[in-house]
């Protein structure tokens, strides 16, 4: 397979939820020396975004979306260890507490952000998906030191307000000044980040890393 045409084939396999084909293509292109971050950016992410558009238009239904997400996750499992190894360690030792907010099970973007942060040298505490406000707070309280970043992902308009609640709770507990807060996810915007008093917004994983390095 030529390195120039794998993207289309990989996207098609993920969209179809074809795990075997997804794994097969990724294994082949990795052997050919394709950069694992490019596989995520040019193959896996566009495929799931297209499925989102088709879902919105009523062209595909939830089971299709779930199968595609499953194929994407199997693909991620192949490239993640390589990304951890190959991305340059930028020598930072700060902690990033990451999670998708309560009520929201979308964890693909959050996990990609966590992966790139950890590959950039951050100590990432991944709390998972549907994380209650108090779990974010507890994770901050469990850590001392002055360089903690809280990263919150939200993909649903019904759950983005949880990001605001976490910030409010950090303030109530006297912890707000000790941490930097960054937010992201498909329904979140720079304006929303400013409105809720977050320190930053990241459109994608690369921006998340840039932000975290600024905070460090
Ligand atoms: C895959 C998917 C699913 C999968 C999730 C699998 C999983 N384990 O994550 C499944 C099928 C389970 C699912 C379920 C649902 N989904 Co859904 N889903 C999607 C879809 C297609 C893609 C999301 C995704 O993974 N994108 C790829 C990743 C890489 O992108 P990302 O998450 O945006 O993350 C990037 C950036 O945003 C940023 N980022 C993310 N987090 C953070 C955090 C920080 C701190 C920073 C700085 C940056 C950052 O960096 C990431 C990497 O570049 C979206 C469509 C879309 N356009 O987003 C719908 C979408 C989010 N889902 C939607 C809906 C409605 C649902 C359901 C409610 C459907 C239902 N009727 O049950 C349920 C929700 C259940 C729940 N309670 O959470 C709607 C939300 C509409 C809205 N505005 O509220 C969307 C937009 C689809 C649509 N167009 O209608 N979904």
User: Closest residue (by CA) to atom 10 of ligand 1?
Assistant: 66
User: Closest residue (by CA) to atom 38 of ligand 1?
Assistant: 204
Report whether 24 contacts 71 (CB < 8 A): no
CA of 153 to the centre of ligand 1 (A): 10
Atom of ligand 1 at shortest distance to CA of 206?
53
Residue 52 within a domain: yes
Same domain membership, residue 75 and residue 144: no
Range of the domain at 34: 6-86
pLDDT reported for residue 5: 84
Residue 111 within a domain: yes
Take residue 27 and report the two structure tokens written for it: 């294994």
CA of 186 to the centre of ligand 1 (A): 6
Same domain membership, residue 46 and residue 111: no
Same domain membership, residue 132 and residue 32: no
Which residue blocks in 57-204 are alpha helix, DSSP H? 62-86, 108-119, 133-141, 161-172, 190-195
The bridge status of strand 123-126 relative to strand 148-153 is unpaired
- The set of protein residues with a Cβ atom below 6 angstroms from ligand 1 is 45, 48-49, 51-52, 55-56, 62, 65-66, 69, 103-110, 112-113, 151-153, 155-157, 182-187, 202, 204-205, 208
The last residue of one of the domains, among 33, 55, 86, is 86
More confident residue, 91 or 68: 68
Report whether 46 contacts 92 (CB < 8 A): no
Chain position carrying tokens 């289309």: 8
Distance CA 155, CA 73 (A): 17
pLDDT reported for residue 86: 65
Same domain membership, residue 76 and residue 129: no
pLDDT in tens, 75-100: 999 999 998 876 555 555 589 999 99
Residue 26 within a domain: yes
Distance CA 168, CA 103 (A): 18
Same domain membership, residue 106 and residue 62: no
The last residue of one of the domains, among 86, 109, 128, is 86
Number of helical H runs and strand E runs in the chain: 10, 5
Atom of ligand 1 at shortest distance to CA of 151?
45
Q: What is the CATH number of the domain that holds 54?
A: 1.10.1240.10
CA of 207 to the centre of ligand 1 (A): 18
pLDDT reported for residue 119: 84
CA of 143 to the centre of ligand 1 (A): 29
Same domain membership, residue 74 and residue 28: yes
Atom of ligand 1 at shortest distance to CA of 158?
84
Give me the number of domains the chain comprises: 2
pLDDT in tens, 131-169: 999 999 999 999 876 689 999 999 999 999 999 999 999
CA of 91 to the centre of ligand 1 (A): 31
Same domain membership, residue 111 and residue 23: no
Q: What is the CATH number of the domain that holds 118?
A: 3.40.50.280
Among 52, 59, 208, which residue has the most ligand 1 atoms within 8 Å of its CB, making it the best to mutate?
52
Same domain membership, residue 106 and residue 173: yes
Residue 139 within a domain: yes
Sorting pLDDT into bands at 50, 70 and 90, what band is 120?
Answer: confident
More confident residue, 142 or 103: 103
Same domain membership, residue 209 and residue 114: yes
Same domain membership, residue 79 and residue 141: no
Distance of CA 110 to the CA centre of its chain: 2
Atom of ligand 1 at shortest distance to CA of 156?
84
Q: 101 φ, ψ to 5°?
A: -70, 165
Residue 19 within a domain: yes
Residue 1 within a domain: no
The last residue of one of the domains, among 41, 56, 86, is 86
Same domain membership, residue 31 and residue 125: no
Residue 156 within a domain: yes
Residue 179 within a domain: yes
Same domain membership, residue 101 and residue 69: no
């Amino acid at each position: 397979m030529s390195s120039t045409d794998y993207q289309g084939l990989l996207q098609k396999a993920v969209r179809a939820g074809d795990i075997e084909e997804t794994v097969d293509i990724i294994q082949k292109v990795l052997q050919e020396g394709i950069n694992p971050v490019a596989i995520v950016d040019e193959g896996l992410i566009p495929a799931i975004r297209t499925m989102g558009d088709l879902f919105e238009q009523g062209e595909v239904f939830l089971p299709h979306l779930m199968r595609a997400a499953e194929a994407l996750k199997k693909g991620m499992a192949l490239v993640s260890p390589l990304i951890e190894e190959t991305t340059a360690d930028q020598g930072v030792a700060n902690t990033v507490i990451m999670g998708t907010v309560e009520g929201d099970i979308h964890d693909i973007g959050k996990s990609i952000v966590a992966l790139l942060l950890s590959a950039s040298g951050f100590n990432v505490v991944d709390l998972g998906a549907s994380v209650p406000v108090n779990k974010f707070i507890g994770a901050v309280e469990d850590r001392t030191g002055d360089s903690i970043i809280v990263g919150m992902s939200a993909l649903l308009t019904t759950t983005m307000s949880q990001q605001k609640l976490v910030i409010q709770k950090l303030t109530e507990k006297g912890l707000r000044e000790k941490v930097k807060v960054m937010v992201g996810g498909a329904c979140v915007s720079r304006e929303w980040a400013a409105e809720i008093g977050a320190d930053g917004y990241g459109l994608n994983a690369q921006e998340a890393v840039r932000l975290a390095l600024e905070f460090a």
